[in-house]
Structure 1
């Protein structure tokens, strides 16, 4: 029987990441599994908790949203330790990409019985971040600004906070001139964003890179170029299905390493938490993490 350590983000979802855990925890214990719970005070603290639990041979449960999933998953990458996700945040996009169910009973069965699956991670390097590892995507542009607004939204939750944050960001955004280098080949781009995606989803279910796969050893590079704002709003609506990739304003590349630079200070983010300013380099780490899914 597996032994679990839950690392909980107590502020996930705008209320408490712990709200989901009691139901899953009760089912795990009823099945005979051992569960201990640790509450994180910060992302750095969550990483330490995850590493220590993994070193003891325990399955580490990341309880919260994409921020805690990326933080804990990044801490376990390359160690052979096993990650489980208990989605309890605003977006839960990496859990969505893995097809994890919202039903506690179905999720518990996966945590108890499914074999770990190797998935890729993303290593992030910049002046601020040295070797930071995340799971879902790195995005540089208007979406990083939108995510910042969503994280500070007090009255809205879930997809509504991301949509409102996106509207606020777009109204003030000036298209940037990017230099994007993918596997050594340079591309110029002027527009709204550049996204290096391991997972298909970001921003609470938006299919930014619908063909991205978490286990193919590649990043899907999505670049949205300059366009009238009314067209960009239409494109934002198409993110729900991934239809935006068929527009001429959107270019998709694939590669193992990408460097993103710009002609002015442009914010970038990763997994809803990491915030800094370009330039940034992101590279895939194939099969880096074992996940129950």
Structure 2
């Protein structure tokens, strides 16, 4: 029987993280599993807790949204430690890409009996240091929108991202990007560049429909400059992924992507935004063992 350490973000989804864990924990313990719970003070603290639990050969659970999922999963990348998710945040995009349920009755059997699946992660290098992300690295108006969403207290879930997007687009000036994919340079002027390991970001938006978590590649989605009204239409198409058919959207694929810009442009990873370009993203194939 598996032994679990749950690492909880008590503020995820307006404190739904604790409630979500309680429902799943009852089912795990009724099945005979051991479960210990650790509450985080920060994402860095969550990473320390994850490494310590992994060193004790425990299954590590991230309880919350994409921020804590990315932090804990990044800490466990290349360690072989089994990693599980209890989705309880605003976005839950990595859980969505894995096809994980949120209902405790459906999730608990996966955590108890599911075989680990090896998926890719993203090594992220910048002047701020090295980190590991799970879903994507995005640089531009979407990172600015994410920053606004993270500071919105009156709205939750997709509504906070939509509000953040409106605010970001209203003030965005097109940036001139230089994007280097596996050594080949591309120039681009517009709204964003996304290096995607997962199809989803921004609370269920399908930014890269063909992205796969285990193919050893990143999908590079570049959205060029367009009139604001057209861009709002394009944003709406992110719900289905049909934006990729627009001429303003170019998609490349590669293993290492360097993103630079002609001015300070924010970039984010897994729902967290705290740095500006330049940044380099490299795929780490099969580096994380996820229960799914």
The TM-score with structure 2 as length reference comes to 0.99
1:274 to partner: Cα distance: 4.1
1:285 aligns with 2:279: no
> Hey, what's the Cα distance between the residues in 2 that align with 1:275 and 1:94?
20
User: Is the contact between residue 9 and residue 16 of structure 1 (CA under 8 Å) also seen in structure 2?
Assistant: no
> Hey, what's the Cα distance between the residues in 2 that align with 1:82 and 1:219?
23
Number of the residue aligned with 2:48: 48
> Counterparts of 1:1-293 in structure 2 under 5 Å?
1-128=1-128, 130-293=129-292
What secondary structure sits across from 2:47 in the alignment?
helix
What secondary structure sits across from 2:155 in the alignment?
coil
Deviations 1:1-49 (A, max 9, x none): 0000000011111334212000000000000000000000001100000
Deviations 1:206-242 (A, max 9, x none): 0000110000000000000000000000000000000
Query: Which sections of structure 2, spanning at least 5 residues, go unmatched?
Result: none
What secondary structure sits across from 1:261 in the alignment?
strand
1:275 to partner: Cα distance: 1.8
> Hey, what's the Cα distance between the residues in 2 that align with 1:234 and 1:75?
37
> Hey, what's the Cα distance between the residues in 1 that align with 2:266 and 2:146?
10
User: Is the contact between residue 80 and residue 289 of structure 1 (CA under 8 Å) also seen in structure 2?
Assistant: yes
What secondary structure sits across from 1:189 in the alignment?
strand
> Hey, what's the Cα distance between the residues in 2 that align with 1:93 and 1:223?
20
User: Is the contact between residue 66 and residue 91 of structure 1 (CA under 8 Å) also seen in structure 2?
Assistant: yes
> Hey, what's the Cα distance between the residues in 1 that align with 2:51 and 2:164?
33
What secondary structure sits across from 1:214 in the alignment?
coil
1:111 to partner: Cα distance: 0.4
1:131 to partner: Cα distance: 2.1
CA RMSD, Structure 1 to Structure 2 (Å): 0.6
Deviations 1:147-199 (A, max 9, x none): 00000111100000000100000000000000000000000000000000000
Report runs of 4+ in structure 1 exceeding 2 Å deviation.
none
> Hey, what's the Cα distance between the residues in 1 that align with 2:8 and 2:25?
12
> Hey, what's the Cα distance between the residues in 1 that align with 2:19 and 2:177?
42
What secondary structure sits across from 1:235 in the alignment?
helix
Number of equivalenced pairs:
292
